Structure formats: C-alpha cells, structure tokens
Amino acid sequence: MNDMSKWFVVNVITGAREGTYKSYKTHRGAKNFAARLNAKTLGYTDWEVASEEFYIDVLSQRTTTVKNLLSGKDVTIPMVDLGSCVDPSTERFFCM
C-alpha cells in the first residue's frame, strides 16, 4: 500500500464509513479506533480498516436493492447508504 494513503474505519457488512467520517493517517491509528468501536458494540456491528483507494474503488461502488417504504417499489442504492437517512426503505428518509 502507498504510505500516503488515508485509512477509514468501515462497517464489515455494508462497507459504510464510521459515523464521523474521519480519516486516519496511519493504519495503526485506524485499527486502534476500530478495536474501540468493536468493544463498544459488543459484537453487534463489526468495524474494520480499509484504505481510501479500496473504499473508493470497491466499497462505495457496491449496490443493493431496497423497497421504498411509501411506494413499495424496488430502488437500487449504494450499499454504503443502507440504513442511513438517504435509504428510502427507512422511516428516517421520509422524516428529514
């Protein structure tokens, strides 16, 4: 990996970045933060470290299909947005 790379803490399942969207200069710093997050969530959510390049090239490009809460139609969204305020399958989407 490139030494100038930024590191992100991402959700293992969806690939979404950790809520603060902070980036880390070192892999070690990101790994330590991921370990603290994993200790807080008690195994309900797994966090891992990903390089900026991997996040941009792979994780942010994956998509999933969800059902629009109001219309019932299928909608394709980036997987990193799953469960967030831009996911039309959540009530939060329609309350914002």
Alpha-carbon dihedral of residues 15, 18, 22, 25, nearest 10 degrees? -60
Structural contact between residues 5 and 26, judged by C-beta atoms closer than 8 angstroms: no
Spell out the residues 6+ positions from residue 58 whose beta carbon is closer than 8 angstroms to its own.
15
Q: What are the sequence ranges of the domains in the chain?
A: 7-60, 63-95
Round to whole Å and give the CA distance between 89 and 50: 27
Q: Write the pLDDT tens digit of every residue in 68-80.
A: 999 999 999 998 8
> What's the predicted TM-score (pTM) here?
0.67
Q: Write the pLDDT tens digit of every residue in 7-58.
A: 999 988 888 888 778 899 999 999 999 999 999 887 677 899 999 988 888 8
Strand positions, DSSP E, 17-81:
47-51, 63-67, 74-78
Supply the pLDDT for residue 4.
64
